A and B are shown apart, each in its own frame.
Chain A
Amino acid sequence: MSDIILETQNLSRHFGALMAVDDVTLQFERSLVYAVLGPNGAGKTTLINLLSGEIMPSGGSIRFKDQDITNLPANAVSQLGIGRSFQKTNIFPNFTCFENCRLAAQSRMKGSFSFFKPALSYRQINQQAERALEMCGLSMRCHTLAQAMSYGEQRQLEIGMMLATGPELLLLDEPLAGMGADESLKVIELLRRLAKEHTLILIEHDMDAVFAVADRLAVMVNGRLLETGTVAEVRASKAVQEAYLGAEDEH
């Protein structure tokens, strides 16, 4: 029971009259891979935004490892070891790939950082950034400006920056969106590797990817949690078949 790394209680968030996330109670077990599914506008990104502290809930609570993080801002949540990647690429376009990851790694610098020592002289931070670049497959793009890379590569960098902060729980918002087939395969491979040492919460429309990596599924529709369970359970669920999987060819 103590192996629940993250849980939400009646978590809600509305925008005006719209219930983007409506009364969601979920538990995430350590070192499993969760996939959150649902049609466009179901509230998946909003859920991630709530979990990562990006936006504040209208109701309910969130616990991470026995700590109430409901009202913590995004930077505090990140410092606790929850990393996230964004659906809409959210990088530093005019910095090099390396600097994007280095800046991410630098956020973990212990104590107050120096005003005079060159940033590049911190070996450990540099190594952390290089490792993240290697993991996301961008080592050879180290000195390329992020804006000069292809969209798919920018998506890879998006993941690399999250990894450079060394998180324990990863929130991935459609990591494969906009990637070519080759890149997708590489990233799915990466997700599998990450799954060995991390807890993953993944939003993804690509069903092949989901079935390839996910241990558990959660299906959302109109802000509500429709079904949770193992892949087989959810696949068998009548409600899900009607509401979502049945309409899969829309996506």
Chain B
Amino acid sequence: MYRISRPSLVILLVMAIGLALYPFVGESYYIRLMTKIMALGIFAMSLDLLIGFTGLISLGHAAFFGVASYVVAWYIVKAGVTNALFMLPTAVAVSGLCALVIGWLSIRTSGIYFIMITLAFAQMLHAFFKDQSYWGGTDGFNFYTKPNLAIGDTVLLDLGNKVTLYYVTFALMVATFVFLAVLLHSPFGRAIQGVKVNEGRMRAMGYNVRNLKLMSFVIAGMLAGVAGFIEATRTAYVNPEMMSWHASGNVMVMVILGGMGTLYGPILGALALTLLGDNISSLWDHWLLIMGAFVIAVVMFLPEGIAGLIEGVTQKFGKKPPPKEETEP
């Protein structure tokens, strides 16, 4: 059952305050990089809902991220609309719709078949955007105007401004975290966690397991869409590789690295993986090798990921952990 321990809640608050103040001290390059990390954090949290809480190992999660990015590009390049007021809801809705269709078809399978079928669907979307010249083909789209948030002619937020986008992303990440934390305590959230632990018993107790999984899949797809919206806005560039299996694998590594089923872990996973990539890739061409070794090391020595490490350390330094359960009746 999901719950955040008090020490990690304190750490999270400190981190949130740090992030809120960062643009006052950070360099422009790092503000943009942190925006990327927070967007990937949303993306990774959304996958954690599937892997860590519902027990659905999707290897095609980038499809929903990518589709939302393409919605942004379509609005700007094809429709000449730059208002995020239209863009964000459409992006999220289209991602959700794709998740509904893909989920409806894939959730009939389980285990390795589910992994393969989600992968296959994402590859199909990838191939679709790559082949269609209307969608920019292999090159995707570069666009020069960026979305803004406007009501009528009054621009409320210019998302082309990197500090504005940083704070919008920060707010969306916090909102996603709170949303998921609340969701996981709701009857629905408890039910999907039951599905992860013992699907058969859930069914025997009268739950429609397939519906629960599908709902979870759609919610995760929509949140991935939020992340895709931010990333397309940040880079003003979309291409089919955003939904390739590399991208899906990458976000899965973030979840595993950060600690699945911890919600905040995947944000740390996004941070670690992105910073690592950013630093080593400039030093050495074969940086993926180091990255691979790092991931293997974490998985072997920190099976519960970075969040697991934090939980362990805070428990050691905190007071004696309260006894979790009585041993004698």
Instruction: Report A's interface with B, CB cutoff 8 A.
Output: 52, 54, 73-75, 78-79, 84, 86, 90-96, 99, 102-104, 106-109, 113-120, 122, 140-141, 143-145, 148, 161, 165
Do A74 and B203 touch across chains, with their CB atoms under 8 A apart?
A: yes
Kindly list the 7 A-B residue pairs having the minimum CB-CB distance in the complex, ordered from nearest: A78-B206, A113-B187, A107-B206, A119-B187, A144-B325, A119-B190, A79-B206
Complex interface: chain B residues within 8 A of A73 (CB): 203
Do B186 and A92 touch across chains, with their CB atoms under 8 A apart?
A: no
- Stretch of B127-135, B141-149, B192-200 contacting A (4+ beta carbons < 8 Å): B192-200
Complex interface: chain A residues within 8 A of B203 (CB): 73-75, 78
Complex interface: chain A residues within 8 A of B235 (CB): none
- Other-chain residue from A54, A79, A103, A143 in contact with B190 (beta carbon distance below 8 A): A103
Do A143 and B206 touch across chains, with their CB atoms under 8 A apart?
A: no
Given A92-B201, A106-B187, output 17 extra A-B contacts at Cβ < 8 Å: A74-B204, A75-B207, A78-B206, A94-B197, A103-B194, A103-B202, A104-B205, A109-B187, A113-B188, A114-B187, A115-B186, A116-B183, A117-B187, A119-B186, A119-B187, A122-B187, A143-B326
Provide the bound-state CA to CA distance between A117 and B203, in Å: 23
Contacts A54-B204, A92-B198, A115-B183; A141 near B329 (Cβ below 8 A): yes
Complex interface: chain A residues within 8 A of B326 (CB): 143-144
CB proximity of B217 to chain A, nearest CB, Å = 15
Do B189 and A119 touch across chains, with their CB atoms under 8 A apart?
A: yes
A-B contact count (CB 8 A): 94
Complex interface: chain A residues within 8 A of B189 (CB): 115, 119
Contacts A74-B204, A114-B186, A145-B324; A106 near B191 (Cβ below 8 A): yes
Complex interface: chain A residues within 8 A of B207 (CB): 75, 107
Provide the bound-state CA to CA distance between A153 and B190, in Å: 23
Closest-by-CB residue of B relative to A108 is B206
Closest-by-CB residue of A relative to B209 is A75
- Other-chain residue from A52, A75, A91, A120 in contact with B198 (beta carbon distance below 8 A): A91
Provide the bound-state CA to CA distance between A244 and B33, in Å: 75
Do B205 and A165 touch across chains, with their CB atoms under 8 A apart?
A: yes
Do B186 and A90 touch across chains, with their CB atoms under 8 A apart?
A: no
Complex interface: chain A residues within 8 A of B324 (CB): 145
Complex interface: chain B residues within 8 A of A161 (CB): 201, 205
A92, A99, A145, A148, most chain B CB atoms within 10 A? A92
Provide the bound-state CA to CA distance between A74 and B203, in Å: 6
- Other-chain residue from B182, B208, B325, B329 in contact with A75 (beta carbon distance below 8 A): B208
Do A91 and B187 touch across chains, with their CB atoms under 8 A apart?
A: no
Complex interface: chain A residues within 8 A of B201 (CB): 86, 90-92, 161
Complex interface: chain A residues within 8 A of B182 (CB): 116
CB proximity of A160 to chain B, nearest CB, Å = 12
Q: Would you call B6 an interface residue if the criterion is a C-beta within 8 Å of the partner chain's C-beta atoms?
A: no
- Other-chain residue from A104, A107, A118, A143 in contact with B186 (beta carbon distance below 8 A): A118
CB proximity of A147 to chain B, nearest CB, Å = 10
A91, A95, A141, most chain B CB atoms within 10 A? A95
Q: Would you call B185 an interface residue if the criterion is a C-beta within 8 Å of the partner chain's C-beta atoms?
A: yes
Q: Would you call B1 an interface residue if the criterion is a C-beta within 8 Å of the partner chain's C-beta atoms?
A: yes
CB proximity of A120 to chain B, nearest CB, Å = 8
Complex interface: chain A residues within 8 A of B209 (CB): 75
Complex interface: chain B residues within 8 A of A118 (CB): 185-186
CB proximity of B57 to chain A, nearest CB, Å = 19
CB proximity of B261 to chain A, nearest CB, Å = 11
Do B185 and A119 touch across chains, with their CB atoms under 8 A apart?
A: yes
CB proximity of A14 to chain B, nearest CB, Å = 22
Provide the bound-state CA to CA distance between A120 and B3, in Å: 13
